[in-house]
Amino acid sequence: MKLFPRKISSFLVCPLALLAIITANAQDPLPSWKDGAAKSSITSFVKKITKDGSTDFVPISERIAVFDNDGCLWSENPLPFQVIFAADEIKRLLPENPEWKENASVQALLKGDTAALLGDHHKGLLEIIALTHAGITTDEFDTRVKNWLTTAKHPKFGRAYSKCIYQPMLEVLSYLRANDFQTWIVSGGGQDFMRVFAEEAYGIPPEQVIGSHGVAKFELKDGKPTLTKTLDTVFIDDKEGKPVGINQFIGRRPIAAFGNSDGDKAMLEYTTIANPKPSFGLIVHHTDGEREYAYDAKPKSSGKLVKALEDAPKNGWTVVDMKEDWINVFPSAK
Amino acid sequence: MKLFPRKISSFLVCPLALLAIITANAQDPLPSWKDGAAKSSITSFVKKITKDGSTDFVPISERIAVFDNDGCLWSENPLPFQVIFAADEIKRLLPENPEWKENASVQALLKGDTAALLGDHHKGLLEIIALTHAGITTDEFDTRVKNWLTTAKHPKFGRAYSKCIYQPMLEVLSYLRANDFQTWIVSGGGQDFMRVFAEEAYGIPPEQVIGSHGVAKFELKDGKPTLTKTLDTVFIDDKEGKPVGINQFIGRRPIAAFGNSDGDKAMLEYTTIANPKPSFGLIVHHTDGEREYAYDAKPKSSGKLVKALEDAPKNGWTVVDMKEDWINVFPSAK
């Protein structure tokens, strides 16, 4: 008679194996990253700047990391999600606004004529944004974004847009915060739009979300404080606007920057070139047409990555090959 | 023979007395505030919103407190300190810029003709600000403010301007932070100017300082990232601009607001009127002509307090009578 039948001996052995796996994972803050140069560049940097007494040590208050959003923390295809939101809003609100049917931009949108919307410096798209992102209170806008996020699904991934976020980047965010970094979003996307979901999706509170924005209008309406969204003095938080936005909101130079397109080049330069503190730059290169999209050399809408990729070697920026470097792309929960 | 000579018995008694004093102070987070309605309104509010399980409990992430700076955290007389900085800078830089002598605003400044500078919607003053606050890098500006703060002294108090800060308000800041509040500055003063000293003076990091600001310009100069201060698309963080700035930078409605003038009225309204969360508003009323200045009904420059004072009772705002409510005005260290 066996002292331990097979099932019981498995039971005895397995917990040890399980423990080994758990321990390995506990030691690995980035389990969705394949071992390799990209992954180790992140962990080496963090170890270096957190080592007390080392010349590379950076005090906690200076541990500022900045992240682009579209294409860096979540997908930006088939179109940036905020554009899809605007299009869905136009369709939803059309019955209440029949006059919109005469509007050439709305007509282009309803026909799916992206070229017409993006022509003439995105004039049509900006008109769609104006119709859906201004003239309403900030509270009403928040509600609309929340409703959209709970109902709309991504056409390729079949999941809510706020779940089309990159698991490996969520791990980087958590890892940095565990090492006392502040993690900020610095994105060309709409500030008010991102603030609705950034805390739940990324653990980033509204006050650490910088994006494109207009100046709101404050007034007491029937004695009640009201903020109305406008497109007055719009600030575009893209390209050279990113370091400007960082200076305006944070007032300190970051030591780590994460992007994915030429729109992030100035932010990467500001963070890493001639920074008296140790610094780190990383570019997510979209190479995975199967699990996500491979588009960044010639994107249909946003996310062009040519110049920043060229400059990466000389500036020491890590380039992440999404297909090769990431074990998972999205979180398991849809 | 006495068992304990006088000196030794004092030694034995004193520590107990000392302990009693220390314990009393440890229990009193606001030792520079006289016991009374103003002081207890602050502590009652904080106790109420931090009591776990109570209907008034506010989660840590929503504990946002906003503070005006000029006249609320530091003095604003005989002129707002930033104006004195600008004037001192004009005098310091005049030898390098002889053409300034032909400038009518500079002439008015050198003659001490405040009326001329403030006339025509502060046109002259704005010209002085332009000469001293734009066209230089953000780093150079920081250095200039730092140098000025280490050399200039307040004419009445004989201390550095960054020490003309209100001890009772420092205690409020510390008390709120000890209760997991974020403490933000929301001031009409220059954002870049305040960020130079706010961390050391108030414990408020640059990323929690909102003020008036222009949009900087980013470029690589000789391959080096450079931010140059401009007066492009200037945002004035005063009056209705304050709730707008709060929305833009913080993206959450505060639950506590501290001000001292009509310029803070909109911020106080935004914080306290029809706020679904418990909220608190406080006005520092400058009644102490001896220890500080009594000026706010009819100020020479900024700090007018008429409308907000009228509205205080109906909105439940605490009014601090500086002369009566504050035991000390400034910190002991000069």
pLDDT at A17 (0 to 100): 56
- DSSP helix/strand/coil, B263: helix
Q: Which stretches of chain A sit within 8 Å of chain B by CB? A: 61, 138, 182, 191-192, 195, 199, 205-207, 209, 213, 215-220, 223-225, 227, 233, 235, 240-241, 243-244, 247-252, 266, 269-270, 273-274
- All residue ranges of chain B with pLDDT < 50 are 1-12
pLDDT at A5 (0 to 100): 46
- DSSP helix/strand/coil, B206: helix
User: What predicted TM-score, i.e. pTM, was given to this entire model?
Assistant: 0.91
| Chain A residues near residue B241 by CB distance under 8 angstroms | 218
- DSSP character at residue B228: E
Q: How much is the average pLDDT of A253-277?
A: 98
Which one of B138, B186, B191, B207 makes the best mutation probe of the A interface by having the most chain A beta carbons within 10 Å?
B207
Position A210 confidence tier, pLDDT thresholds 50, 70, 90 = very high
Phi-psi region of A280 (alpha: psi -120 to 50; beta: other; left: phi over 0): beta
Residue pair A277/A254 in contact (Cβ under 8 Å)? The answer is no
Position A24 confidence tier, pLDDT thresholds 50, 70, 90 = low
Q: How much is the average pLDDT of A146-154?
A: 97
**Which residue in B has a C-alpha nearest to residue A208's C-alpha?**
B250
Query: Alpha helix (H) ranges present in A152-240?
Result: 167-178, 191-202
Q: How much is the average pLDDT of A170-189?
A: 98
Would you call B250 and A207 a contact, using CB atoms and an 8 Å cutoff? yes
| Chain B residues near residue A223 by CB distance under 8 angstroms | 273-274
Strands (E), chain A: 64-67, 182-190, 209-221, 224-235, 256-259, 280-285, 318-321
Specify the fold of B31-78+165-325: Rossmann fold (3.40.50)
| Chain A residues near residue B269 by CB distance under 8 angstroms | 220, 225
Cβ-nearest to A247 among B220, B227, B266: B227
Cβ-nearest to B252 among A206, A243, A248: A206
Q: Euclidean distance between the first and final Cα of chain B, in Å?
A: 48
Would you call A225 and B195 a contact, using CB atoms and an 8 Å cutoff? no
| Chain B residues near residue A61 by CB distance under 8 angstroms | 199, 205
Domain boundaries along the sequence of chain A:
31-77+164-325, 81-151
pLDDT at B3 (0 to 100): 45
CB contact burial A127-139 (16+ within 10 A = b; e otherwise): bbbebbbbeeebe
**Which residue in A has a C-alpha nearest to residue B61's C-alpha?**
A205
Place of tokens 């229990």: B27
Which one of A247, A252, A311 makes the best mutation probe of the B interface by having the most chain B beta carbons within 10 Å?
A247
pLDDT at B305 (0 to 100): 97
% residues pLDDT > 70 (chain B) = 92
Say what the ipTM of the complex is.
0.91
pLDDT at B18 (0 to 100): 56
pLDDT at B137 (0 to 100): 97
Would you call B251 and A216 a contact, using CB atoms and an 8 Å cutoff? no
| Chain A residues near residue B182 by CB distance under 8 angstroms | 207
At the second CATH level, the architecture of A31-77+164-325 is 3-Layer(aba) Sandwich (3.40)
CA distance B244 to chain A (A): 6
CA distance B134 to chain A (A): 15
